[in-house]
Amino acid sequence: MRRTFPSPFTMTLIVLAVVIIFFLSVPILKMFVGVGSDKFIETLRDGEVLSSIWLTMKVSAWAMLFVIITGLPLAYLIARFDFYGKSFLESLIDLPVMIPHTAAGIALLSTFGDTELGNFFKFFGIEFVGTEYGIMIAMMFLSAPFLINAAKDGFRKVDPKLEKVARTLGANPLQTFFAISIPNAKKDIINGALMMWSRGLGEFGAVIILVYHPMTTPVLIFDRFSSYGLSYSAPVAAVIIGLSAIVFFIIRFIANKL
């Protein structure tokens, strides 16, 4: 059998793909190899590390849930309706992705810190500086665009005829939204939610301006690095990367089976 070799164009694509895979994967592999199994297991038993990981994953999940409730209606409105200021609104949603995270933290502190709006929330027992609410709002502010934009693209893929058929069969708009629109856009919504949750896990710049204690894992890594150096911070980084990868792969596997 005559063997065919890839064309120069295909070989160029392969080489370029290998280059980006190298830069994406080697630092992660080096993290685990450099730390070593003993140090990795010891860090897994560190109560402060486990507490920070649980806090980070929990608050990021709460931020994701809040945006699912509030962001899906917004994504649906943008996908289904044309209205004045739509382009401005879409730019506003994308803006947090582009601005420096420390600038986002300053903006959040200026808005929800010791201000009239901050005092308004304090009246209801919600304080953002030095609390889990502050971590949540920082994660939400910077990662919500991933979920909203993914859901928007998902809703745009849903054929409007399906929704119209449901309406002609007697379903009201709310029933159509939950029975037709969301199920048909679920893959994009789940992917967006995963991206938002995983992005929230790594948020540092905005979180540290609003909340140093209780420490999320990125803040704990920074704290140990600045206090004790690389040898104390690398194992914590390896643990959060490993656990995040496991959770992410499990959820992605389940999502692909839906």
Along the chain (258 residues), what's the average pLDDT of each consecutive run of 10 residues? 75 92 88 78 87 93 95 94 91 90 92 90 90 94 94 94 89 91 92 89 90 91 90 87 81 72
Task: Output the pLDDT for position 70.
Answer: 95
Fold entry, domain 59-212: MetI-like fold (1.10.3720)
pLDDT of residue 258: 67
For position 43, what pLDDT does the model report?
84
Delimit the domains of the chain by residue range.
Answer: 59-212
The answer to whether 81 and 173 are in contact (CB under 8 A) is: no
Question: What is the per-residue pLDDT for 2?
Answer: 62
Task: Give helix 132-157 / helix 86-98 axis angle, nearest 10°.
Answer: 130
pLDDT in the model for residue 149: 95
Residue 233: the pLDDT is 87
Give the per-residue pLDDT at 33. Answer: 79
